[in-house]
């Protein structure tokens, strides 16, 4: 994947980029993120926020907005270079490079599960 040099450095004047591994599940059937057969998923996500607590709050808010319930947020880390994100999740890096104006969260690859430990 070729990402322009202009987006390779993640220094942002209005915040810092935080990555976290987020595990979540559906609350009801009226969501558009998970396929019908999936109960939940985990995904690397990124949030533009002043600190780690604010990043967590943004991630929770985004998931709740999509009718999903957060089960766990782990492995939080601040990111400074796009290649660091690419090493963790190429899909997340691609979404980050194409983030919509005004957005403060970015989703990575979804790893779904069917329920009760089924894959």
Per-residue pLDDT of the chain (119 residues; tens, 9 = 90+): 555 544 545 444 356 899 999 999 998 768 889 998 899 999 999 999 999 999 999 999 999 999 999 999 999 999 888 888 899 999 999 998 888 888 999 999 999 999 765 55
Taking a C-beta distance cutoff of 8 angstroms, is the pair 79, 88 a contact? no
Structure tokens at 90: 């190429």
Q: In angstroms, rounded to a whole number, what is the distance separating the alpha carbons of residues 59 and 65?
A: 10
């Amino acid at each position: 994947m070729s990402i322009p040099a202009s987006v390779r450095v993640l220094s942002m004047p209005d915040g810092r980029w935080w990555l976290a591994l987020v595990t979540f599940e559906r609350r009801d059937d009226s969501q558009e993120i998970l396929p019908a057969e999936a109960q939940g998923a985990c995904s690397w996500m990124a949030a533009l926020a002043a600190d780690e607590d604010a990043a967590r709050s943004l991630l929770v808010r985004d998931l709740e907005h999509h009718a999903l319930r957060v089960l766990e947020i782990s492995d939080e880390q601040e990111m400074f270079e796009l290649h660091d994100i690419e090493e963790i999740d190429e899909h997340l890096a691609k979404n980050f490079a194409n983030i919509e104006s005004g957005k403060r969260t970015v989703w990575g690859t979804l790893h779904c599960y069917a329920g009760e430990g089924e894959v």
